[in-house]
Amino acid sequence: MRIRAAVTETPGGAFVVRDVELETPRQHEVLVRITAAGLCHTDLGSQAVWPQQLTPMVFGHEGAGVVEAVGAEVTGLAPGDHVCLSFHSCGSCEQCAAGSPGYCVSMQMLNASGGRGDGTTPLSRDGSPVYGGFFGQSSFATYAIAHERNTIKVPADLSPVVAAPLGCGFQTGAGTVLNRLRPEPGSSLVVIGAGGVGMSALMAAVAAGCDPVIAVDPVASRRALATELGAKAALDPTADDDLVAALLDLTGGGAHYIVDTTSRPAMVRQAIAALRPRGELALVGIGAEIEFDVMSVISKGIRVHGVIEGDSDPARFIPELIDLHQRGRFPVERLITTFPFENITDAVAGMRDGSAIKPVLTFP
């Protein structure tokens, strides 16, 4: 079938909406009509370094929509179901069997190889392959082929604009707090970086009863929103002469938990200094290398966590987040700015200049 997709023609090239062809779903696949798709820093970061041999490429990994057709061996999903799309996993390795599909041994192959696990791609143009299968979906398109394992049924009355980012960004932030750190009520938690992931972590911390919850971000509007969402304080790391001293004071001697979404070496070093003895640091942002004094970690008995996708099993955790949202305890709609799909370039600009915390593309 002919669809419209935002195609990246060359490594680092812009998203350009083009006509492409999409195959019918295979036995365990699901055809989804996309009604909303979140834009994530992972899309932009991957686009910037994507290999030349895997272009043209269609990104997008926070899709939501309606099931149009299912493969012969798909169970639990049917045409007409409203769904959210998340990352793909094999379902049979040790980590998947343990309920931790974010650490699936086939994660790279199934989510970032430019196609299905067998090397094929369901997309083409004029008889030549268009690479896709990004996070098992490539949802910057009017239709996407997903898989029964990464297609999560959601209530029909849930806005797809809210449902879409649950598949990655929102579950990453909230899951880091609720699934990995699991703070006790009354414990202090600091979030460094108040983007979509950081704000989701902040809201989850507030819902878990953390006190105080503190945000750190250079953008004034984001700091203001963080306090509206329950943060007791929001600090500007570029203006505070001694950020560590301020955090130590606000948390009564050091934070119990810090979630860093930036992967900036200077921020991580300050996070370590701002933790209390036996505090815990969760690293969520995608980055390269960070140097810090090992003794600063050892001497305080600090735990450092690396977290992918919020330690989430999407089939279990996304319904939990929807329940929190429906009870008014996870108001993610406050983070969202919508853009028509054809205006994806404006959404990218909004994410890059900080004016849009969570851009979400909408489809007619």
Q: What is the pLDDT of residues 143-183, one digit of tens each?
A: 999 999 999 999 999 999 999 999 999 999 999 999 999 99
Q: CA-to-CA distance for 260 and 252, rounded, in angstroms? A: 20
Res 128 pLDDT > 90: yes
Mean pLDDT of 47-56: 95
pLDDT attached to residue 240: 67
β partners of residue 235:
216
- CATH 3.90.180.10 range(s) for the chain read 2-167+331-362
> Helix crossing, 220-228 with 196-207: angle to 10°?
20
The two three-digit tokens of residue 361, written as one number: 């593309």
The DSSP H or E segment spanning 362 is strand 358-362
* pLDDT for the residue numbered 290: 86
pLDDT at 23 over 80: yes
Across the range 250-277, mean pLDDT stands at 96
d(CA 322, CA 343): 28
Whole-angstrom distance between the N-terminal and C-terminal Cα of the chain? 18
Range(s) within the chain of domains with CATH label 3.40.50.720: 173-308
- CB of 255 within 8 A of CB of 212? no
**3-state SS, residue 322:** helix
Rounded to an integer, what distance in angstroms lies between the CA atom of residue 39 and that of residue 119?
25
Q: What is the pLDDT of residue 228?
A: 98
Q: What is the mean predicted confidence (pLDDT) over 298-318?
A: 97
**Beta carbons of 30 and 148 less than 8 angstroms apart:** yes
Chain position carrying tokens 């990655």: 168
- Residue reference for tokens 């799909």: 341
Q: Considering the domain 2-167+331-362 in this protein, what is its CATH number?
A: 3.90.180.10
Q: Which structure tokens are listed for 269?
A: 């070093």
Residue type, 279: G
DSSP string, 119-154: S--SEEETTEEEB--GGGT--SBSEEEEEGGGEEE-
The rounded radius of gyration (Å) of the Cα atoms in the chain is 20
Kindly tell me if the per-residue pLDDT of 8 is higher than 70.
yes
Q: Once rounded to an integer, what is the mean pLDDT over residues 233-237? A: 97
pLDDT of residue 117: 85
Instruction: Taking each helix axis as running N to C, give the angle between helix 265-274 and helix 243-250, from 0 to 180 degrees, rounded to the nearest 10.
Output: 40
Task: Give 64-91 pLDDT, tens digit per residue.
Answer: 999 999 999 999 999 999 999 999 999 9
Topology annotation, domain 173-308: Rossmann fold (3.40.50)
pLDDT of 345 above 80 = yes
Q: Is the model's pLDDT at 22 over the cut of 90? A: yes
**Over 90: is that where the pLDDT of 59 sits?**
yes
The model's pTM is 0.96
Q: Would you say 46 and 58 are in contact if contact means Cβ atoms under 8 Å apart?
A: no
Res 67: pLDDT: 98
In this predicted structure, the answer to whether residue 15 has a pLDDT above a threshold of 70 is yes
| Residues 21 and 124: beta-carbon distance below 8 Å | yes
Q: What angle do CA 182, 185, 187 make, to 5 degrees?
A: 80
> Taking 70 as the threshold, does the pLDDT of residue 351 lie above it?
yes
Residue 134 identity = F
Provide the percentage of residues in the chain whose pLDDT is more than 90.
Answer: 95
pLDDT at residue 288 greater than cutoff 80: no
Cα(28)–Cα(71) distance, rounded to whole angstroms? 5
